[in-house]
Amino acid sequence: MDITDDAGRRADPVADSPERAELRVALRALIAREAPPSRIRQLDEAEEFDDHLYAKLNELGVLGIDAPSDLGGAGDVRDQLVVIEELAAGPTSMAAFMIVQYMIIQVLGAFASTDEQRTILADLVAARTKVSFSLSEPDGGTDIARIMKTRAERDSGGCWRLNGHKMWTSGATRAQWLIVLARTGEATRSAIDGVSMLLVPTNAKGVEVRPIDTLGIHGLSTCEVFFDDVALGGDALIGAENAGFRQAFRTLNREGIIACAASLGVGRGALEFITDYTREREVFGKPIGSFQVPQHWMVDAAVHLEAARSLMVRAAEVELGGGRADMLALMAKLMASEAAQDITLKGMQLMGGFGYSRELPMQRWFRDVRLWSFAPLNNEMVRNRIGERLLGLPRSY
């Protein structure tokens, strides 16, 4: 089935079912209409969240993909991948927001244990609330389980007192709730034990959110969050006590697969832009795209992006089939993020001074895609884990 968008570009018929191809075309049309390049640039410069596009995505019905059907959810991770890729190719900050949205849906869909938590999930699907995820701390991201200092302790009445400091929490300035991982007990079998998930309102006394000035993803705040003796009810616990990390691990494969989709979107957007540019821009009386080196750069980018897509699709299918997709998810994220970084760097080089101009999107893609070189796991640690778990090499860290 050959479905094209308004620009005449073909939706991917290999990875997409007919329904997903239609979703892809609908998303491209919505983005072209509601988030054109001039608006993306304006919001990026102002460092503002796109409330208008958020509302339109809600109207399209994509905020609740993979949520429970009784809450209006539909579709699965493969539909999420389409949404993330299409947004990343244009308003990349909204793709970053949707990664958090889908992660919270997965966490609450699996572990919501109170009526309030289930209500929050319903509100999340219906665009009535926003929730952010707080895990990393100043002293560690990759090694967070071992060094975690944020703690929650029960008082005599069974309520919680939360104290600590979290870093790199996406979207916290707009969120009404945070899912916070905090140490609630001692590590027993491993460092990941003794950590719980807690639901924390951002307007609670003792919660302070401070934006961090970041290189990219300017349309979604990145924040540090302070917790100073925050009082929480006993029902703030999500899922099982002291099992928060094990619960979070259930989302990590999905986050890796979705980070691959985000990198694919940036890489594809940059590749399409630079391909069009080099067809028209002339040097020494010939289009830049007629020279061998630029052609090889662009061909290599196309091949690497499609290889990453194949890994991503396979990982999603394995996950949906109940198998272990962790290695495939890591490989997909690694290949896509490095391919996208490479093509944005070379796109900047091919454009020369125009690449340096903030009026054109290449420099924004170049800045934004850096996020997925270290999130949700930095690429060096990704290689370490693949070496250990796939190849059986000695642990290198």
Q: What is the pLDDT along the chain (397 residues), one digit of tens a residue?
A: 344 555 445 445 456 899 999 999 999 999 999 999 999 999 999 999 999 999 999 999 999 999 999 998 999 999 999 999 999 999 999 999 999 999 999 999 999 999 999 999 999 999 999 999 999 999 988 888 889 999 999 988 889 999 999 999 999 999 999 999 999 998 777 888 999 999 999 999 999 999 999 999 999 999 999 999 999 999 999 999 999 999 998 777 788 999 999 999 999 999 999 999 999 999 999 999 999 999 999 999 999 999 999 999 999 999 999 999 999 999 999 999 999 999 999 999 999 999 999 999 999 999 999 999 999 999 999 999 999 999 999 999 8
Report pLDDT for 249.
84
Alpha-carbon distance of 265 to 236, in angstroms, equals 36
**Burial class of residue 163 (count of CB atoms within 10 Å of its CB; 0-12, 13-18, 19+):** middle
CATH 2.40.110.10 fits 131-242, yes or no: yes
Q: Which fold has domain 246-389?
A: Butyryl-CoA Dehydrogenase, subunit A; domain 3 (1.20.140)
Report pLDDT for 322.
93
Q: What is the DSSP string of 287-352?
A: EGGGSHHHHHHHHHHHHHHHHHHHHHHHHHHHHHTTS--HHHHHHHHHHHHHHHHHHHHHHHHHHT
Q: Which fold has domain 18-125?
A: Butyryl-Coa Dehydrogenase, subunit A; domain 1 (1.10.540)
* Beta-bridge partner residues of 133: 179
Name the packing angle between helices 18-34 and 51-60 (round to 10°).
Answer: 150
Domain positions in the chain are 18-125, 131-242, 246-389
Report pLDDT for 14.
54
